[in-house]
Chain A
Amino acid sequence: DAGVIQSPRHEVTEMGQEVTLRCKPISGHNSLFWYRQTMMRGLELLIYFNNNVPIDDSGMPEDRFSAKMPNASFSTLKIQPSEPRDSAVYFCASRFATGTLGHYGYTFGSGTRLTVV
């Protein structure tokens, strides 16, 4: 299995532009999570999906952020318009949710480093 695949690995964009980050979860996993890593706050959960349905988007910073999961094998995180303070590493993670967390933790992708100038 190739693991959780994120693209692009790096993105540099100008303030005001639209940015789309992509994630392919591990086949068979039914939960998908988007996290953002910053120095100040560490790993912040932005949104997560169970069976392609958004469950908790309380971490989405503002209306400029949106996420979709049109099918079990693909998710996007979109920022429009982007701002310099959005610069961070964005991680996607997936897991097979059994109703209990147990020790079946997340599998993370390698992340997308976003720089907004």
Chain B
Amino acid sequence: DQQVKQNSPSLSVQEGRISILNCDYTNSMFDYFLWYKKYPAEGPTFLISISSIKDKNEDGRFTVFLNKSAKHLSLHIVPSQPGDSAVYFCAASRIQGAQKLVFGQGTRLTINP
């Protein structure tokens, strides 16, 4: 049972346009969500996070939106740059107690010049 799902294995976007990556979760106990970025032959690195008390968190070109009622979050990258080409993983956890992150399958983002 996949508690965190990224239904799009890949996404291709033109440089300068907006990239939108989506993620759904099933466990209503999750109250903290993160996005990680992974380049080939490297480990994932933390990108941005959001707690369930918010519905939006912004960091430069990256914005994460959370819709708790739909159990859905999305990552927006504006404007998209070639260096953003990577695999993006959505992850979920609980702030208190359990410390493990549950990850989705990942979405491979390709930014075309």
Q: List the interface of chain A (C-beta within 8 A of B).
A: 4, 31, 33, 35, 39-45, 48, 50, 56, 91, 93, 95, 97, 99-103, 105-111
Give how many B residues have a beta carbon under 8 Å from the other chain's beta carbons.
Answer: 26
In the complex the two chains form, is A45's CB within 8 Å of B44's CB?
no
Complex formed: what's the CA distance from A106 to B46 in Å?
7
In the complex the two chains form, is A56's CB within 8 Å of B100's CB?
yes
Given A42-B6, A56-B100, A110:B41 Cβ within 8 A:
yes
In the complex the two chains form, is A35's CB within 8 Å of B103's CB?
yes
Chain A residues near B103: list those with CB within 8 A: 35, 42-45
Q: List the interface of chain B (C-beta within 8 A of A).
A: 2, 6, 32, 34, 36, 41-46, 49, 89, 91, 93-96, 99-106
Chain A residues near B104: list those with CB within 8 A: 42-43
**9 tightest A-B CB contacts, nearest first:** A108-B43, A42-B105, A43-B103, A105-B46, A42-B106, A108-B44, A101-B95, A42-B103, A110-B43
* Residue among B2, B42, B49, B106 making CB contact with A105, cutoff 8 Å: B49
Chain B residues near A108: list those with CB within 8 A: 43-45
Given A45-B101, A100-B96, A102-B95, A109:B43 Cβ within 8 A:
yes
In the complex the two chains form, is A31's CB within 8 Å of B99's CB?
yes
In the complex the two chains form, is B96's CB within 8 Å of A43's CB?
no
Given A48-B100, A108-B43, A43:B95 Cβ within 8 A:
no
Q: Which residue of A lies closest to B57 (CB)?
A: A103
Chain B residues near A35: list those with CB within 8 A: 103
20 contacts between A and B (CB under 8 A): A40-B105, A42-B104, A42-B105, A42-B106, A44-B103, A45-B102, A45-B103, A48-B99, A56-B100, A93-B43, A100-B96, A101-B32, A101-B94, A103-B46, A105-B34, A105-B46, A107-B43, A109-B43, A110-B43, A111-B42
In the complex the two chains form, is A103's CB within 8 Å of B49's CB?
yes
In the complex the two chains form, is A111's CB within 8 Å of B43's CB?
yes
In the complex the two chains form, is A43's CB within 8 Å of B89's CB?
yes
